[in-house]
Structure 1
Amino acid sequence: MAATGDEAAAMDSISRVPVSHPAGLSLAGASSSHGEGAEPAAESLLSVPKKPSTNSDGGVETAEEAVEPAEPDINELCTDMFEKMAVFLQGELTATCEDYRLLENMNKLTSLKYMEMKDISINISRNLQDLNNKYASLQPYLDQINQIEEQVSALEQAAYKLDTYSKKLEAKFKKLEKR
Structure 2
Amino acid sequence: MAATGDEAAAMDSISKAPSAHPAALIPAGSSSSQAEAPEDAMESLVPPPKKPSTNSDGGVETAEEAVEPAEPDIDELCTDMFEKMALFLQGELTGTCEDYRLLENMNKLTSLKYMEMKDISINISRNLQDLNNKYASLQPYLDQINQIEEQVSTLEQAAYKLDAYSKKLEARFKKLEKR
TM range (shorter): 0.5 to 0.7
1:23-102 to structure 2, matched below 5 A, reads 50-52=48-50, 66-102=66-102
- TM superposition score normalised by structure 1: 0.63
Structure 1 ranges of 4+ moved more than 6 A: none
Q: How many residues align?
A: 131
More helix by share: 1
1:115-134 to structure 2, matched below 5 A, reads 115-134=115-134
CA contact 2:47–2:66 (8 Å) conserved in 1: no
By how many angstroms is 1:93 displaced? Answer: 1.3
SS of alignment partner, residue 116 of structure 1: helix
- What is the RMSD computed on CA atoms of the aligned residues? 3.1
- TM superposition score normalised by structure 2: 0.63
Unmatched segments (≥5 aa) in structure 1:
1-9, 12-45, 55-59
By how many angstroms is 1:91 displaced? Answer: 1.0
Identity %: 91
1:54-79 deviation digits (Å, cap 9, x = unpaired): 9xxxxx99867544344333222211
Q: Which residue in 2 is equivalent to 1:35?
A: none
CA contact 2:48–2:64 (8 Å) conserved in 1: yes
Q: Which residue in 1 is equivalent to 2:5?
A: none
CA contact 1:50–1:64 (8 Å) conserved in 2: yes
Q: Which residue in 2 is equivalent to 1:170?
A: 170
Matched, 1:138 2:164: no
Q: Which residue in 2 is equivalent to 1:16?
A: none
Instruction: Kindly provide the amino acid, as one letter, of the partner of residue 101 in structure 2.
Output: R
The alpha-carbon distance between structure 1 residues 175 and 64, as it changes in their structure 2 partners (threshold 3 A), is farther
Instruction: Kindly provide the amino acid, as one letter, of the partner of residue 106 in structure 2.
Output: M
Unmatched segments (≥5 aa) in structure 2:
1-27, 30-44, 53-59
By how many angstroms is 1:149 displaced? Answer: 0.7
Structure-1 separation of matches of 2:108 and 2:78: 44
Instruction: Kindly provide the amino acid, as one letter, of the partner of residue 167 in structure 1.
Output: K
